[in-house]
Structure 1
Amino acid sequence: MARRGLLTPGAPHRVAQQFAELHRWGFGLAGELRQAAARSPGQVAVIDETRSLTYAELVDRSARLAVALPVVAGNRVGVLCRNSAVMVETLVAVTTVGADPVLINTGLSATQLAAVIDAQDLSVVVHDPEFSDVLGDFPGAIPSSALDAMISAVPSQDLSPPSRTGRTIVLTSGTTGMPKGAQRPTPGGFSPLCSIIDRIPLRAGVRMMIAAPLFHTWAYAGMQIALALRATIVLRRKFSPGGTLDAMRDSGATALIAVPVMLQSLMELPPEASLPALEIAAVSGSALPGGMATRFMDRYGDVLYNLYGSTEASWASIATPADLRAAPDTAGRPPHGTVIAVLAGDGEPVPAGETGRLFVGNEMLFEGYTNGSSRELHDGLLATGDLGHVDAGGRVFVDGREDDMIVSGGENVFPGEVEGLLADLPDVLEVAVIGVPDDEYGQRLAAYVVLRGTASLDADAIRDHVRSNRARFCVPRDIVFLQSLPRNATGKVLKRELPR
């Protein structure tokens, strides 16, 4: 904390008030916001495309909104908004009254949204007006355009902490079925923050562009970190590479919170559009494709940090620029307070370098799904659902999802390994590889390839490249060229929507 500027001297009365607010409210969103406002009330807290708010203004508006919203402690409140100051106000307001915010993916269909509202027992959904049609006639819908009037109708007031601590509920990605609600714990102290900023050198007061959608676990964590650091959060409703760079230049942001596909888009911009002031680019949510880590750092400098984690496990490991230079496909090392185990099917540890099931332990493991189910635990460690290995230097590598590995002619094949190989081809913009049924071999690989511009790479050249670098059973027999890969709102490829 000292190295990141959190313990620098300040006015004694402000420092005393800062720690008093943390003592009263705890380390949830409402408490982190109040401690920041107590220490730095005039600091700009959030900038979006329409306005900026100081920490004092954000506390005042979120407190008045907490009174105005028709919710009480224990209610579940859906938040269906794009990145904006309104969304931040709403999330803080909901937790201020002890209700549970449910972060809703903006890409859900009307059918999926109706199922989420029912499964999560939502009493209210605060939504951007553009989502009115997908909400239909849900009686608890409150358009975000109405919030200013609701806030103005309530006088400023100093609220007391609620009788219960709200639990943030993050929906799983739903790439393989209906999203489930994962209950996130509230931090119990400084340790979770220290685990992250020990590896990712975000400093107090940093200006941070959160490009990933705030309903995503990593972006939401970025917002929590920003409040703890008394940082300035920069937001745009929708991601575009050019718009993101413009917003960072205009705001003076030097840190970027993103998902890997966004880096891929930034790399497609011409070199003169690069952001020379970028000091930290921290990504999570999916694997970095191919040699993206090296290419990105060759262009922007050694500023890239890759966090491997999940909605259920929070973080598992963090790769620093030095890790990524040494091994571009690594997920890094577990930070302070985190344990990773690579286990065989019988629960016994496997030797370094051998692939097994990845299990994680830290103080921010999720508290279970809202439907009462959970993930497998082994000696207090949570199954990530991934297969991977740890090298002799302690670096973690994710080899693929447990349910993605295929058996072709008796050989185990990880589609991700072939994806990474093909992503390195200069003519390939993006690629996805999956297993499909095969009458002779049980399963075979199919590759879905998006080429750059006027590239003329053909299927035989792709097969020859794999054959030259991998075993025979890794060569995809099916090569399908697409204009783009189907992705959800956080950039994950929807493999179920790939044409068979």
Structure 2
Amino acid sequence: MAAASPSDTSRLTRTLRTVRVLVRSGVISPGRPDRIVRQLRALRVWGATMAGAYAAANERVPDSVAIVDERGTFTFHEMILRGRSLARTLHHAGVGTGSRVGVLCRNHSAFVQTVIACGRLGADAVLLNTGLAPGQLAAAATANQVAVLVLDEEFDAQCAEVPADVTRVRAWGDAPDGGLQVPWDARESTEGEPAPPARPGRLIVLTSGTTGTPKGARRPTPRGPRDAAAILSRIPLNSGDRILVSAPIFHTWGLAGVQLGMTMRATLVMRRRFDPEDVLRTVEDQRCTALFAAPVMLRRIMDLPARTRAQYDTSSLRVVACSGSAMSPRLITEFMDEFGDVLYNLYGSTEVSWATIATPEDLRAVPTTAGRPPLGTRVQILDADGAQAPTGTEGSIFVGNDMLFDGYTNGASKNRAHGLMETGDRGRLDADGLLHVSGRDDDMIVSGGENVFPRPVEEAILTLTSVSEVAVTGVPDEEFGQRFAAFVVPQEGAEVDPDQVRAVVRAEVGRFAVPRDVVPLEELPRNPAGKVMKRHLPTDLPPR
């Protein structure tokens, strides 16, 4: 079974639809001819990078607000001045074409400023996960050949094992005496600037590490607004939006929020730390019209007392764009009942970027769906022999689009077939062309000869009102090889009855999937992007 966006029937049809999407979103809009010429010239010089997008926006709308963070409001012109200033600082520190600069920062304007500066120098920006342990962080810096590290003050201790010859530059907080500091002041300078690089710098994003050590994934350089049109064809953002980016920018989805915002010349709102009530407060104070978040963030918002949620006016929100992990049908329905039909869920990965997007209409009709492919995207389900699987048959999910990654920094890549790249997940396409994701290939639990993915078991358990969150995994069993174990987080003030858990799984999934172990936890182990780290769940449970 294969699915593709309707525009793929011809190149002309796709081009026309792309133009319509870009016009609707405000990427293409009327303007002064001289400014449009300068805008196009900036893109030609700097490419479709963050440096190029902000340079182009500076030529078109220099005084429009680009970013709002806890240190203030910054226009596109101010962001360009700050990017130029930091580029000079990094250049004096030896950064040039092909150098690699690590970025270990929370969400704030200096993160974006650093990526702009790297783009102006042709350096690669390595976006480092702020939740890495010191040893992991040192390994990631070494494996990705980081020569300069731009970091917030709070992460100094985490960098204790990073080699001493890696130059440090302070982003948030004050640099130590004699140390380098990211310049926050937007000032003109008479100092000469490095010439535009022969090749654009790349973004390197670490994989989530849910199944092992995070790997550096080389993101391809966008070829222009056409890449943004894919997501915008299914998520109706526009240039007038004020986008609160709560998902970490070092993560693919937070980065996507920044890249879409800069392409549309929209305003980005950033807060360094996620707090569910602060999100609602910020939406009200800043009149945010869009929110980029991870599913666990929506769960935390819904876990707030109803009276707390009711204190804030969030009526400005018309898009809540979510990605990063599976959402339960209960969370989807609860959230849209509370905030309206504003929820969009993107299924993708660091390697394939995007695969499908579920709209509010899709999620109301089939809450378990991952949606449909956006503009210019193909999705196929392949069987074990690499052939297309029939409609409704489960197989490996393969994706084709213009932003497939360029491989890992260690030289490895993902399997390809028919011009498509594997996601590492299994799923099926139904008769309406909607994708349903079963789970990761390595998540499958084999117990007593039955092959079962955890997701349907988790979805069944989440229908119990006493359960807030759940993770199902396989644990060793002498008789069956593996047995099901359910790790449950109770709702506040509730107790989870293991017999109820087993009964609902038996009724909804089948006897073969019933968890013999039901283990209550205060919280599930998650990485900073909100993904559950199942390999950190206990596996040494007593024999049953």
Same fold flag (TM > 0.5): yes
Bigger shift: 64-73 or 53-62?
A: 64-73
- Aligned counterpart, 1:65: 86
The separation in 1 between residues aligned to 2:416 and 2:433, in whole angstroms, is 22
| Distance in 2 between residues matched to 1:149 and 1:23, nearest whole Å | 27
Amino acid at match of 1:81: C
Once the 2 structures are TM-superposed, how far is the Cα of residue 412 of structure 1 from its aligned partner?
A: 1.2
- Does 2:65 align with 1:44? yes
- Structure 1: gaps (5+ residues): none
130-139 or 240-249, which deviates more:
130-139
- What's 1:138 paired with? 164
Q: Distance in 1 between matches of 2:33 and 2:482?
A: 67
Distance in 2 of aligned mates of 1:259 and 1:465: 27
Q: Is the 8 A contact 1:68 1:150 kept in 2?
A: no
Structure 1, residues 451-482: CA drift from partner, whole Å, max 9, x if none? Answer: 01111221111111111222101111110000
Aligned partner of 1:443: which letter?
Q
CA distance in 2, matches of 1:54, 1:151: 10
Tell me the distance in 2 between the aligned counterparts of 1:106 and 1:193: 27
1:409 and 2:448 aligned? yes
Indicate the larger mover: 278-287 or 156-165: 156-165
Alpha-carbon distance, 1:159 to partner:
6.2
Query: Would the alpha carbon gap of residues 60 and 400 (structure 1) be closer, same or farther in structure 2, given more than 3 Å must change?
Result: same
Q: Secondary structure at the match of 1:457?
A: coil
* 2:26 corresponds to 1:2: no
Selected match of 2:241 from 187, 194, 206: 206
Q: Gaps (5+ residues) in structure 2?
A: 1-21, 175-180, 540-544
Note if contact 1:63-1:157 (Cα within 8 Å) is conserved in structure 2: no
Matched, 1:272 2:310: yes
What is the distance in 2 between the residues matched to 1:297 and 1:159?
50
Which of 439, 463, 478 is the aligned partner of 1:424?
A: 463
Q: Relative to structure 1, is the Cα distance of residues 4 and 314 closer, same or farther in structure 2, using a 3 angstrom cutoff? A: same
d(CA) in 2 for partners of 1:201, 1:27 = 22
- Aligned ranges 1:94-113 → 2 under 5 Å: 94-113=118-137
Matched-pair contact (CA < 8 Å) for 1:27–1:187: yes
Contact (CA 8 Å) 1:260, 1:283: kept in 2 or not? yes
Q: Is the contact between residue 110 and residue 184 of structure 2 (CA under 8 Å) also seen in structure 1?
A: no
Q: Aligned partners of 1:158, 1:43: CA distance in 2, in Å? A: 25
Equivalent residue of 2:442, what SS?
Answer: coil
Identity of aligned residues (%): 49
C-alpha separation between the residues in 2 aligned to 1:410 and 1:273? 52
Measured after TM superposition, the shift of residue 149 of structure 1 is 7.5
Matched pairs, number: 500
**Residues 305 and 320 in structure 1, CA contact (< 8 A), matched pair in contact too:** yes
Distance 1:370 1:41 in 2: 36
1:27 to 32, 41, 48: 48
The aligned residue for residue 210 of structure 2 is: 175
Within 1, Cα distance between the matches of 2:183 and 2:254? Answer: 24
User: Alpha carbon RMSD of aligned pairs, Å?
Assistant: 1.6
2:432 alignment partner, SS class: coil
Q: By how many angstroms is 1:3 displaced?
A: 1.4
Runs of 4+ in structure 1 off by over 4 angstroms are 149-160
Counterpart residue identity of residue 497, structure 2: D
CA distance in 2 between counterparts of 1:489 and 1:227 reads: 24
Offset at residue 128 of structure 1 (A): 0.4
**Shift of residue 441, structure 1, vs aligned partner:** 1.4
Structure 2 Cα separation of the partners of residues 392 and 315 of structure 1: 21
Mapped to 2, the partners of 1:490 and 1:455 lie a distance apart of 27
The whole-number CA distance in structure 2 between the counterparts of 1:155 and 1:492 is 47
Moved more, 44-53 or 134-143: 134-143
- Contact 2:443-2:454 within 8 A present in 1 as well: yes
SS of the residue corresponding to residue 393 of structure 1 reads: coil
Superposed CA deviations along residues 259-317 of structure 1, whole A, max 9, x for unmatched, are 11111111122240452221000011111123211211111111110010000000001
Determine whether 1:93 maps to 2:131: no
User: Is the Cα–Cα contact under 8 Å of residues 67 and 154 in structure 1 kept in the other structure?
Assistant: no
- Structure 1 residues 79 and 109, CA gap change in structure 2 (3 angstroms): same
1:375 aligns with 2:414: yes
Please tell me whether residue 350 in structure 1 is matched to residue 371 in structure 2: no
Which is worse superposed, 17-26 or 155-164? 155-164
TM-score under structure 2 length normalisation: 0.89
2:460 partner amino acid: L
Return the structure number with greater relative CO, CA threshold 8 A, min gap 6.
2
Aligned residue type for 2:468: L
Indicate conservation of the 8 Å contact 1:65/1:151, yes or no.
no
CA distance in 2, matches of 1:27, 1:10: 20
Among 43, 57, 77, the alignment partner of 2:101 is: 77
Aligned to 1:359: 398
One-letter code aligned to 1:84: H
- How far off is 1:23 after superposition? 2.1
Question: Match of 2:267?
Answer: 232
